[in-house]
Amino acid sequence: MTAPNIAGLTSIIGKSNVLIVPLTTIDNATAKLAENVAGSGQVFKINSAIISNITTSDTDVSIALYRGGVPYYIANTIRVPINSTLISISKDMGIYLEEGDTIQCIASAETALHAICSFEVINDA
């Protein structure tokens, strides 16, 4: 199915997902910050992705939009300093997740980073 026509909307539902960023490969279910499953009939408008370092050492993060088996990196091995926050996606960027797309993230240290992703689920039927 194609992405819904966002000019003829029937609903927009606000959502926020949270994740303790795993130390793993990017193509891993535990790394999914937002997922629009195949056949959903929806499009997700990503408003923000915020990564916070809650530990006592600098930690790297990678964030990718995953489409058709391929990661397209939004951020690749970006250092998040101690007690700092990285805004990797903001509302002015206009990133949409089509059916089958995910945003995934991984860290260089286990449980060092928290992530929050705010998005809108858009339906036209």
Residue 110 neighbours by CB under 8 Å, 6+ apart: 22, 23
CATH of the domain at 82: 2.60.120.340
Domain count, the chain: 1
1 within a domain of the structure (yes/no): no
117 within a domain of the structure (yes/no): yes
42 within a domain of the structure (yes/no): yes
Is residue 11 pLDDT above 50, yes or no? yes
37 within a domain of the structure (yes/no): yes
| Single pTM value for the model | 0.84
Is residue 18 pLDDT above 80, yes or no? yes
Question: Whose structure tokens read 């990017």?
Answer: 26
Q: What is the mean pLDDT of residues 39-66?
A: 92
35 within a domain of the structure (yes/no): yes
Of the chain, the percentage scoring pLDDT greater than 70 comes to 86
pLDDT greater at residue 22 or residue 102: 102
The residue segments making up the domain with residue 22 are 11-123
pLDDT greater at residue 120 or residue 6: 120
32 within a domain of the structure (yes/no): yes
pLDDT greater at residue 3 or residue 80: 80
Exposure b/e, 18-40, CB count within 10 A at least 16 = b: ebebbeeebeeeebbbbbbeeeb
